[in-house]
């Protein structure tokens, strides 16, 4: 993983990597509360299909509607690819998202990878998602 910008502490890098892992775990276990706990109250989330969600309450309404059952056939893994420290309390994380089918699934994956970017803010010593864009990667023809 590349790290650029301001020189971060090893602890901040570890906390941000843990946040990415928490996103994956919450998604995979369909734990809406754990997922929502990762966002600031005033967060902005743009889904992989371009739906803009403003504020944690709106993100919560959407998440509670779409997350249950989302991993019955497939799941995604998340790994941080690039980390930019804009300031000591602001970081941007590019994530590699890879989708996989569960054994026995009979569906076809519409895409195999995603390329989310998370804009993180450190408030009171805790990193939270301030804004995020969850972009699907369309294979080249």
The pTM is what?
0.89
Bridge partners of 98, per DSSP, are: 77, 113
Q: Phi and psi (nearest 5°) for 66? A: -100, -20
Which residue spans within 1-141 are E strands per DSSP? 2-5, 39-46, 52-54, 74-87, 90-101, 113-114, 117-123, 126-133, 136-137
CATH 3.10.450.50 fits 2-137, yes or no: yes
pLDDT, one tens digit per residue, over 103-121 is 877 777 766 888 999 999 9
pLDDT, one tens digit per residue, over 48-84 is 889 999 999 999 999 999 988 888 878 889 999 999 9
């Amino acid at each position: 993983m590349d790290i650029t910008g301001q020189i971060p502490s090893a602890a901040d890098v570890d906390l941000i990597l843990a946040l990415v892992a928490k996103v994956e775990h919450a998604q995979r276990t369909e734990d809406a509360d754990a997922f929502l706990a990762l966002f600031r109250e005033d967060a902005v989330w743009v889904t992989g299909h371009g739906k803009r969600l403003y504020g944690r309450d709106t993100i919560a309404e959407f998440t509670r509607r779409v997350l249950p059952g989302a991993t019955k056939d497939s799941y995604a893994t998340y790994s941080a690819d690039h980390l930019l420290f804009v300031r000591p309390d602001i970081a941007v994380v590019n994530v590699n998202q890879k989708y996989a089918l569960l054994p026995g699934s009979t569906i076809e994956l519409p895409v195999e990878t995603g390329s989310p970017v998370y804009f993180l803010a450190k408030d009171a010593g805790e990193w939270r998602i301030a804004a995020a864009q969850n972009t699907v990667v369309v294979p080249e023809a």
